[in-house]
Amino acid sequence: SAMAARGGRIVCAGDPANPNRVNISSYVPFGATTDPFPQFPASPQTSSDGWSFDVGPSPAEQILYMVDGDALYLLSNEAAYSIYDLSAPIGGAIPPLFRIVGKGIIGRRAATWAEQSL
Which residues are within 8 A (CB) of 56 and not within 5 positions of it... i.e. 6 or more apart?
20, 76, 78
pLDDT at 111: 55
pLDDT tens readout for residues 54-67: 888 888 888 888 88
Instruction: With a cut of 80, say whether residue 109 has pLDDT above it.
Output: no
Length of the chain as a residue count: 118
- pLDDT exceeds 60 at position 82: yes
**Torsion angle in degrees (nearest 10) through CA of 47, 14, 63, 81:** 0
φ, ψ of residue 115 in degrees (nearest 5): -60, -45
The answer on pLDDT for 77 being more than 70 is: yes
Sign of the four-CA dihedral 66, 68, 72, 73: negative
